[in-house]
Chain A
Amino acid sequence: MQFGAQLASIVFAVLVFALVFEMVRRRRLHERYAIVWLGAAFALLVLAVWTGLLEAISDLVGIKTPSNAFFVIAFAFLLMLVLHFSSAVSKLSDETRVLAQRLALLQQRLDALGADRPPDHDEDDLVGDQRSSRGSLTGSKR
């Protein structure tokens, strides 16, 4: 591998490390997902430092250009990661659905309990509440 390319790879891997670490520190990224990215950065670092490894791998699987072997590995990794996120989104949407259902049923029960009282805030539905809280938030920022 060219020395320039090797240096760039090492710098890039270190940058990814730093970025992920900083995101976790600022609570922008859960440790659960950070581990995957740190692992990827580590793999990149190993491949950049240990130049013989990539050639050995490409020889082993019969890919003539080592860089192509790298792309194959990177592509497979990204594919698995995206699949993982699809699964995480499915789980989240299930959890959101349950929350919405319970919230709506609780709201209905609350409405039923308050039905004998004068309906001074009859339209105090969730949409209205959200709107008003959003309004107060933007108001306080100003």
Chain B
Amino acid sequence: MELRSPTFLAVVPAYNEAGSVARVIGALHEQAPQFDVIVIDDGSTDETAARAREAGASVVRMPFNLGIGGAVQTGFVYARDHGYDYMAQVDGDGQHDPSELTRLVLTLRDEPSLDMVCGSRFISTAGEYQAPLSRRTGIRLFAFMLSKILRQPITDPTSGFRLYNRRAISLFAADYPHDYPEVEAVLMLHAHRLRMTEVAVRMHHRETGSSSITKMRSGYYMIKVSLSLAVGLLRRRPVIDSGGPAAVSATRAI
């Protein structure tokens, strides 16, 4: 038995989400009170940081827009440096329902061999969510590829609604994919022999703001993620160990 009770951190990446971030924080406080909440304001030009502070969250303000990967990685570094046992990622746009966090927490605590639990929109019962067709095709394709690679069913590899344990936190604090990180992160996890599973969750449509993946960018998204997957598969050591020869990598400084 552990002497102290485990600590939980909810990381809320937000870019120009002044209209919804306070509601997300409020819902977290209400429905997942064991979680400390930190908002990563990824260089917003609106009142996101002020709204988040008013709602009672700590705010890390990036000096400029790093993109979702860099923002979430900041959350991993924060969680690692403050010694959190579990970290959840909850988007600032209100897509993710904090009341579902309990399900992720229970799954991860019941199965100690798991390092990450991912909320999936596409596991049977919870099928209210309807993504645009082009996006669903992309998601299916990546889901299919990852399922083959991991030899376990992956239904929603682009979902950012995730809970990580200490091992996953320290891995992703050291190295996390840049642009559209979710799919690649699953592969990284696998390459490091960490384990994950999915649980069914409901997701809402975004309340305000706009997705980071617009129609214009979805082509780039598909190509970039495919390339990342291919390169990730061919990489012998996906993360450069500290002290090892550093190629293009941000690991050495953190």
Contacts and interface: CB of A to CB of B under 8 A. Distances in A.
| A: contact size bracket | 20 to 34
A100 B60 contact: no
Interface in A67-125: 87, 90-91, 94-95, 97-105, 107-108, 111-112, 125
A104 B253 contact: no
Given A97-B66, A100-B70, A105 B60 contact: yes
B61 A104 contact: yes
Majority-rule SS of A interface residues: helix
Nearest to B49: A125
Given A97-B70, A98-B253, A105 B61 contact: no
B25 interface: no
Interface in B103-130: none
A126 B63 contact: yes
A6 B148 CA distance: 62
B63 A104 contact: yes
A87 B248 contact: yes
Which has the most chain B C-beta neighbours within 10 Å: A91, A103, A104, A111?
A104
A94 B250 contact: yes
B62 interface: yes
A98 B59 contact: no
Contacts of B250: 94-95, 97-98
B2 interface: no
A104 B248 contact: no
Contact of B74 (A87, A91, A101, A127): A101
Nearest to B178: A97
A104 B249 contact: no
Nearest to B69: A97
Contacts of B77: 101, 105
Nearest to B252: A98
B40 to A, nearest CB: 8
Contacts of B58: 108, 112
Interface in B222-249: 248-249
Contacts of A107: 60-61
A127 B178 CA distance: 23
B152 to A, nearest CB: 31
Nearest to A87: B248
B221 interface: no
Closest 6 CB pairs of A and B: A98-B253, A94-B250, A108-B60, A98-B250, A126-B63, A101-B74
Interface of B: 38, 40, 49, 58-64, 66, 70, 73-74, 77-78, 81, 178, 248-250, 253-254
21 contacts: A91-B248, A94-B249, A95-B253, A97-B70, A98-B253, A98-B254, A99-B253, A100-B62, A100-B70, A101-B73, A101-B74, A101-B77, A103-B63, A105-B81, A107-B61, A108-B38, A108-B59, A108-B60, A125-B49, A126-B63, A127-B63
Interface of A: 87, 90-91, 94-95, 97-105, 107-108, 111-112, 125-127
Given A90-B248, A108-B38, A111-B59, 11 more contacts: A98-B254, A100-B63, A100-B66, A103-B63, A105-B74, A107-B61, A108-B58, A108-B59, A108-B60, A126-B61, A126-B63
